Amino acid sequence: PIEKAWWKEAVVYQIYPASFLDSNGDGLGDIPGIISKIPYIKSLGVDTIWLSPIFASPQKDMGYDVADYRSIHAPYGTVADVQKLIDELHANNVRILMDLVVNHTSDQHAWFKESRASRSSSKRDWYIWRDPKYDEQGNRKEPNNWKSIFGGSAWAYDEPTGQYYLALFLPSQPDLNWENADMREEAYNDMRFWLDRGVDGFRIDSMNLMSKHPNLPDGKVVTDEPYQSGAEFFASGPKMHDYIREMRTKVFDNYEVMSVGELGFTKDEQSVSQYVAKGRHELNMLFTGDIVDMDFGANGKYERDDFHPRKIRKITNMWQGAMPKFDGWNTVYLDNHDSGRSLSRYASDAPEHRSTAAKMLATYMMSLSGTPFLLAGQEIGMANLAKNYGAEAYIDVEGKNYYNEVLQTRGGDTSKMADVLREMQLKSRDHGRLPMQWDDSPNAGFTTADSKPWMTINKDYVDWNVASQIDDPESIMAYWKRMIALRKDYSDLLVYGSYIPLPETLTGEMVLGYERYSKTTGQRALVLLNFSDQEQIVVAKEYAEYTDSSILVSNQEVEESVGSEVALRPFGAVIILKH
Ligand code: ISL
């Protein structure tokens, strides 16, 4: 049987600090705002929060560009405020994960300022500097053809010292050189700084980009664009596992740390297993990106590719099946601050379906093996900005860069951008960062009525907000609370039980179905999730053993006892427990 652990049973609530609650009317969420909502967080039944970065930062990438790991972005509060947050969470038995962004820093970090000061700086080698190349005409060129994840070259030229530095995200986010042992030690000290203050763990940003291929070779040419991905040479590089093990033995093992690595580009079972297989002594769990990429095109995020339930079946079956093979553990999530809301992309935010669809997704997340992470707002069915918002509503750098790149190729003609806007309406990172909708007062109770929120507030807050759901037993929020409680009550089955996929031939292509089984308790459950806006009938003949079983939970009206057929209404979900 799977070894039990608190971090396997945890239910994590992701808070995007800028967007949770503004306590001082400056239009930006803050730490005191989060502290004031601890009773609310607790009432949901979640027991851990993950805070996206709150550190001192010029905010070129919303804090994923850290200028000082030991101080707090002033509008969010102070280190003392964060200490109070940690202590009050702990007093309520809620743990806290911080976002650890150590693949890169801000160019405003003292380390980088020193590094760029001169070629002979003692910190020169803390970042990745290379001489220019020159073409036949003698024009200066980047050291290789890698493309930045946010567009353009992955190299930025530093005029005064005549070299390029590597920056896989923005030019203002230079990549650290993990080969340098002094740099690693300083990063470990910063981690200890927060662990000593009681932080319970880290979500490690862009974790598998920390080790690059030492020769930084050109990426494989697959497009006719000037820059190519190059990810094969910067993701899960040769020293990746050495670094994680060192971080573990030197830092994490001295505390009770929960570690969650963000894995980009690495998708195959074999490579993934190396990060979390028991016995490797590396990470507790991972975010593999495939679940938030299901409607991305083959050539990039903003290329059209419709979601189909077959995709979630494939990814779910793959990871639920893989982890037990190597005694690994994973996360379960559908939303984060880098994506559109799953409700709008994989289910439906149409008024007639919204509540049922949000509950169906909750049923999915709470009935799988792995540690669930929900993004604040999921519990009230927050959705993407609607189609009638124009380009100006989108402010995130990734989407904006892409929009402007395409706009340029279309001669700056904004009337030709409808296709791009359509994709942004589904996938822009802004949707995951919309301010929390607390009530139906002006500015949704996120900030004072007369202040200007940092980010568009979705007009649908009038109908979809915390206040309108908190006392309604039929609400999405009530359903989430029930699901979270069920997961705890049935942890042998829902957290630790085995996962048995149901074939598409049995469920039909629009329904995701699986069984959970606990050897320890003998409990068995059938989970059926309708990912379509049509009624679906699942003939569960082969599962006749369910005939006299009862409905553990459902988002639709169902009989206490089912026969050999289960009728799922649009976006219907049901968990049937065999006694
Ligand atoms: O956001 C993405 C696609 O839209 C991803 O490619 C994302 O950039 C990647 O998963 C890494 O994300 C993390 O690091 C970035 C930061 O911008 C993201 O917010 C963060 O989650 C750089 O620190």
**What is the CA angle 73-260-486, rounded to 5?**
105
Residue 181: CB partners within 8 Å, gap ≥ 6? none
CATH superfamily for domain 6-103+181-394+429-469:
Glycosidases (3.20.20.80)
Q: Which pLDDT does position 482 carry in this prediction? A: 98
Q: pLDDT tens string for the chain (579 positions)?
A: 799 999 999 999 999 999 999 999 999 999 999 999 999 999 999 999 999 999 999 999 999 999 999 999 999 999 999 999 999 999 999 999 999 999 999 999 999 999 999 999 999 999 999 999 999 999 999 999 999 999 999 999 999 999 999 999 999 999 999 999 999 999 999 999 999 999 999 999 999 999 999 999 999 999 999 999 999 999 999 999 999 999 999 999 999 999 999 999 999 999 999 999 999 999 999 999 999 999 999 888 999 999 999 999 999 999 999 999 999 999 999 999 999 999 999 999 999 999 999 999 999 999 999 999 999 999 999 999 999 999 999 999 999 999 999 999 999 999 999 999 999 999 999 999 999 999 999 999 999 999 999 999 999 999 999 999 999 999 999 999 999 999 999 999 999 999 999 999 999 999 999 999 999 999 999 999 999 999 999 887 666 556 556 788 999 986 645 567 888 999 999 998 876
496 Cα: distance to centroid of ligand 1 (angstroms): 30
Residue 471: CB partners within 8 Å, gap ≥ 6? none
Ligand 1 atom index nearest CA of 103: 23
Ligand 1 atom index nearest CA of 337: 19
Q: Please tell me the CATH code under which domain 498-578 is placed.
A: 2.60.40.1180
Give the sign of the dihedral formed by CA 257, CA 366, CA 269, CA 261. negative
51 Cα: distance to centroid of ligand 1 (angstroms): 15
Looking at ligand 1, which residue's alpha carbon is closest to its atom 2?
A: 338
Q: Which pLDDT does position 543 carry in this prediction? A: 60
Ligand 1 atom index nearest CA of 336: 21
Looking at ligand 1, which residue's alpha carbon is closest to its atom 4?
A: 338
393 Cα: distance to centroid of ligand 1 (angstroms): 20
With CA atoms as reference, report the closest residue to 338 among 276, 393, 271, 397.
Answer: 397
Looking at ligand 1, which residue's alpha carbon is closest to its atom 7?
A: 338
Going from N- to C-terminal start, the domains of the chain cover: 6-103+181-394+429-469, 110-166, 498-578
Judge whether 67 and 139 are in contact, CB under 8 Å.
no
| Residues lining ligand 1, Cβ inside 6 A | 61, 64, 101, 149, 169, 205-206, 264, 289, 301, 337-338, 398, 429
Judge whether 81 and 72 are in contact, CB under 8 Å.
yes
**Secondary structure class of 69 (helix, strand, coil):** strand
Residue 69: CB partners within 8 Å, gap ≥ 6? 55, 190, 193, 194
Tokens matching residue 507: 């469920």
Taking the C-alpha atoms of residue 539 and residue 542, their distance in angstroms, rounded to an integer, is: 8
State the catalytic residues.
Answer: 205, 262
Give the sign of the dihedral formed by CA 293, CA 299, CA 301, CA 307. negative
338 Cα: distance to centroid of ligand 1 (angstroms): 6
In Å, how far from its chain's centre is CA 542? 37
Ligand 1 atom index nearest CA of 397: 17
What is the rounded radius of gyration, in angstroms, for the C-alpha atoms of the chain?
24
Q: Which pLDDT does position 299 carry in this prediction? A: 84
302 Cα: distance to centroid of ligand 1 (angstroms): 15
CATH superfamily for domain 110-166:
Oligo-1,6-glucosidase; Domain 2 (3.90.400.10)
In Å, how far from its chain's centre is CA 151? 21
Q: Which pLDDT does position 298 carry in this prediction? A: 87
95 Cα: distance to centroid of ligand 1 (angstroms): 24
Looking at ligand 1, which residue's alpha carbon is closest to its atom 11?
A: 206
Q: Looking up tokens 């992470």, which residue turns up?
A: 373
Mutate to test the pocket of ligand 1, among 149, 202, 301, 396 (most ligand atoms within 8 A of CB): 149
Mutate to test the pocket of ligand 1, among 206, 288, 299, 427 (most ligand atoms within 8 A of CB): 206
pTM (two decimals): 0.97
Residue 331: CB partners within 8 Å, gap ≥ 6? 260, 285, 286, 287, 370, 371, 372, 373
Looking at ligand 1, which residue's alpha carbon is closest to its atom 3?
A: 338
Looking at ligand 1, which residue's alpha carbon is closest to its atom 5?
A: 338
Ligand 1 atom index nearest CA of 264: 10
Mutate to test the pocket of ligand 1, among 52, 205, 266, 303 (most ligand atoms within 8 A of CB): 205
473 Cα: distance to centroid of ligand 1 (angstroms): 36
Ligand 1 atom index nearest CA of 64: 23
Looking at ligand 1, which residue's alpha carbon is closest to its atom 10?
A: 264
